[in-house]
Amino acid sequence: MNITTPTQPIRTPGDILANIPGILGFFPAESAILISIQPSPRGYSIGPVARLNLGDVPGALQEVMDAFHCGDPEIIFCFVLSQRREAELWEILYSLYRFEDRSGLGIDACWLAEELSTDTAYDLIFGHATESGEGPLQDWMEGTIPAISTSHSMRACVDNGLLPELTRSDLVQRFKAPNPYFAEEEISAMERCAEELAQQMRAGEGYGTTDPVEVVEHLINDVHYVLSEVDSLEEALENEELLCVAAMWMSTTWTRDLVIKDLLAVPQEAGALLLAVARTFHGTIRYNALALYAATQVSQEFGIYAGPALSVVVEEAPRHNLGRLIAQGYRSGMGKRLITRLCHGCELAREAAGIGVDSPA
């Protein structure tokens, strides 16, 4: 399941469909896309968006609705994308029509389209319209998808130097591709070194001092310098020094929480370094890096990679607390609140380590 939280004006079903690749980061196929529509100062806008494999309908619908309820959903739309004949989709479409969650919220309207491509036709399967076309959705019964390349979300992708992948597998590979510059033996040695340094600092030793507060001050001050050395993901992947320092940050909950605020302050550089770390290392280091990478994407208000990164964390490490908490907040459409909470948690960690909130460190 992929969930993202853009905010865009609502116009027609075709316009919504054209925005889906830019929202999810890939072109979904054989999927059900659920979209919560909520009030905004400009009228109605898109809230959280969820993608389900058709085989997961109806089993995952309640989970999606639980996430939607954290916002202010007034209407729930569904778009089924499939090359199958409508008769083969009957059970899935009927389950969508019949679904109602514990609060009584159901799916208000559902459209069917073969694929997400420009000029592809879509048809209303059920919704507030009679067979003669009368009702609130009488002008939304059928149509074609407009140019995907000019949709709001696709323009945002281009502005950020990105394009949606063709499939979800292609998108997920961004987070699973291994670092090509180091052998496993080298990576294992780097991991051990990072973990030992983190444990040393947790014990109050490092940077040539045995004063625990000074150790933490040096650790925090190092973050800005290290991030200033990051130019791109590719360069970070081959820079052993940068990788080892960032791996040390991600080795323990203690070191990780101390640096969160500074990472989120420069999300572009931090995101590149954290993704390089996630693709290089394993276990705790990888999952902490992926979770905070997702947070850097949310803080840039362009979360095309946040959802997929969090999905990988939850799939690979369902008990990873930070990843699970960030995923829950993100899927519920609470991006800004999530960033605020992470920064507050960092401040609390620093206070516990003897660093005041207003400290120059």
For the segment 266-300, what is each residue's pLDDT rounded down to a tens digit?
999 999 999 999 999 999 999 999 999 999 998 88
Are 252 and 331 part of one and the same domain? yes
Are 111 and 19 part of one and the same domain? yes
Query: Tokens at residue 102, please?
Result: 């514990």
Are 263 and 187 part of one and the same domain? yes
Query: At residue 357, does pLDDT exceed 60?
Result: no
- The answer to whether 137 and 127 have CB atoms below 8 angstroms apart is yes
Output Rg (C-alpha) for the chain, integer angstroms. 23
Are 107 and 204 part of one and the same domain? no
d(CA 280, CA 23) in angstroms, rounded, equals 27
d(CA 73, CA 67) in angstroms, rounded, equals 10
Q: Which domain holds residue 136?
A: 2-162
What is the number of domains present in the chain? 2
Provide the CA 253 distance to its chain's centre, in angstroms.
21
Confidence (pTM): 0.81
- pLDDT band for position 168 (cuts 50, 70, 90): confident
Are 188 and 158 part of one and the same domain? no
Helix (H, G, I), strand (E, B) or coil at 52: strand
- pLDDT band for position 131 (cuts 50, 70, 90): low
Q: Please, what is the average pLDDT of the chain?
A: 89
Closest CA to 123 of 13, 276, 221: 13
Are 215 and 86 part of one and the same domain? no
d(CA 56, CA 1) in angstroms, rounded, equals 9
Are 156 and 8 part of one and the same domain? yes
Burial class for 32, CB neighbours closer than 10 Å (0-12, 13-18, 19+): buried
Are 322 and 277 part of one and the same domain? yes
Q: Which of 130, 162, 194 is the last residue of a domain?
A: 162
Helix (H, G, I), strand (E, B) or coil at 216: helix
Higher per-residue pLDDT: 241 or 70:
241
d(CA 254, CA 220) in angstroms, rounded, equals 12
Q: Which of 162, 192, 222 is the last residue of a domain?
A: 162
Q: Which of 101, 127, 162 is the last residue of a domain?
A: 162
